[in-house]
Amino acid sequence: MKTINIGRSDSFAILTNNIPVIFPGQFPKGYQNNVRWWGNISKEELHSTLPDGTARLLTMDLDIGDTCGLACPHCFRRDPRFDSVSKGNALTHEEIVAYVKEAKALGLKQVKILGRGEPFQNTRFLEFLETMTDMGIGVAVFSKGHVLGCDALASKYNSHRGINSSWELVKRLKDLKVSILLGFNSFDRDTQNAFTGVDKFSETALLKNYVDFRDQALINLVKAGFNEYIPGEATRLAMIAAPVKPENIDEIFGLYTWARVRNIYMLTCPTTISGKGLDELEREKQHADYVSQLEDLWAQIYIWAIQKNLISREAFLEDGVSLYPGCHVCNQTAAGFYLNLPGRINMCPGRVGGTTIFTRDIGEEASLKDVWVRSSNYQRAKYGKRYNYHCVARDGFSLPQNFYKNIEAKVMKSI
């Protein structure tokens, strides 16, 4: 497929013209409201155990690499308040693969790649994905998409593996056990540039064209079939508008509906309480009505999703409000943990500090299992009874305790 030259045209018009609607009316019965390999655990699997009674470690977040060409001002990961990474303490490719193999013996089925860098700027990342596929491990990859939409960048990081265009890279990914979680904060160019920090880049910098590359990445992924609708199966493509900020909160409902009718999962959430997310949280406090706006947004999304049969009324009443509006509930803190680049294991990315750090150096531990069994996440996995854990990291810290109840009340008035 020849790469489309998007130039500096309007993203909404280009993407709408190139990505057709799949569900113009109601969503089909039995539609899977999920994206494959994110780490959303089913009711049947959550709290399950190995034959010896050990709670299964079903999902794990990972860092891959330390290189990123962007400068997102809210990045939770590239900040010393999260951790410090050097050549001396970063896990190697081989060590990461070895820990995944160890986790597989504990029940691991899927991993999610969070950072610390842009995964596709790692010259061994494609090799890692191939290894995971051979192991039967599904991988969901957070990516800003510039490598997936720029021929020069795709070739730069993958020519040694015979990949010389973004389309060739996307086609190869389609053959693997991979989902793409594409960063997408806004259709507006200036807003999106500010979210990725490229608004501060030189006019001659290649990544000054970030929005063009992101749009091309989404077109490539759709043409490769990542959002193909297969009855009974979740999509393999998501748009991630995280964190939702005062600057783009008015766009989120439109982004959500635009994506979902095209069988693209669309997820948003408030800022993490880690890294530069701490600065974002302080900034949001200057907007007195921000939390109430979030509640209204969540309710608006749920009402639409229920009306369209994306989520049944019964499922909403049973499962409750998710941290991610209109999406699968979050239960990852009862099913796994986050192994980051310097070998530290965290509860999850949502908050870092104190009891959320399970070990500061996996290399000093007897085994991955030892860390898992003594963690608070394991206590939820082994003894918990819930399915929807909302957000253990944010609830009561950056989100008020009544956040979900307020949203539920708003939704119930309308359905």
Q: Work out the average pLDDT over 324-328.
A: 98
What tens digit of pLDDT does each residue of 112-124 get? 999 889 999 999 9
pLDDT range class, residue 15, cuts 50, 70, 90: very high
**277, 252 Cβ separation under 8 angstroms:** no
Q: Work out the average pLDDT over 312-324.
A: 97
Q: How big is the CA angle at 66 (ends 60 and 70), to the nearest 5 degrees? A: 110
Q: Work out the average pLDDT over 34-56.
A: 97
**191, 228 Cβ separation under 8 angstroms:** no
**233, 36 Cβ separation under 8 angstroms:** yes
Write out the two tokens for 219: 């077109």
What tens digit of pLDDT does each residue of 206-221 get? 999 999 999 999 999 9
How far apart (Å, rounded) are the C-alpha atoms in residues 391 and 271? 12
Residue 396 is predicted with a pLDDT of: 93
Write out the two tokens for 107: 């029940």
**36, 86 Cβ separation under 8 angstroms:** no
pLDDT range class, residue 83, cuts 50, 70, 90: confident
> DSSP readout, 147-182?
TTS-HHHHHHHHGGGT--SHHHHHHHHHTSSEEEEE
Domains of the chain as residue ranges with CATH = 11-289+327-389 (3.20.20)
Residue 87 is predicted with a pLDDT of: 78
Residue with tokens 């979030």: 294
Residue 8 is predicted with a pLDDT of: 41
Residue 86 is predicted with a pLDDT of: 83
Q: Is the pLDDT of residue 1 over 70?
A: no
What tens digit of pLDDT does each residue of 60-81 get? 999 999 999 999 999 998 889 8
Q: Is the pLDDT of residue 401 over 70?
A: yes
How far apart (Å, rounded) are the C-alpha atoms in residues 166 and 143? 14
Three-class DSSP category at 68: coil
What tens digit of pLDDT does each residue of 265-291 get? 999 999 999 999 999 999 999 999 999
Residue 248 is predicted with a pLDDT of: 96
Q: Is the pLDDT of residue 5 over 60?
A: no
pTM for the whole structure: 0.96
Q: Picking from 40-49, 77-86, 144-153, which range would have the lowest pLDDT averaged per residue? A: 77-86
pLDDT range class, residue 7, cuts 50, 70, 90: very low
What tens digit of pLDDT does each residue of 181-201 get? 999 999 999 999 999 999 999
Q: What is the 3-state secondary structure (H, E, C) of 84-148?
A: CCCCCCCCCHHHHHHHHHHHHCCCCCEEEEEECCCHHHCCCHHHHHHHHHHHCCEEEEEECCCCC
Q: Is the pLDDT of residue 9 over 70?
A: no
How far apart (Å, rounded) are the C-alpha atoms in residues 247 and 195? 9
Query: How is residue 362 annotated by DSSP?
Result: G
Residue among 383, 413, 410, 159 nearest 298 (CA): 410
Residue 4 is predicted with a pLDDT of: 41
Q: In what order do the strands lie in the sheet with 265-268?
A: 265-268, 237-241, 178-183, 138-143, 110-115, 59-63, 336-339, 345-346, 357-359
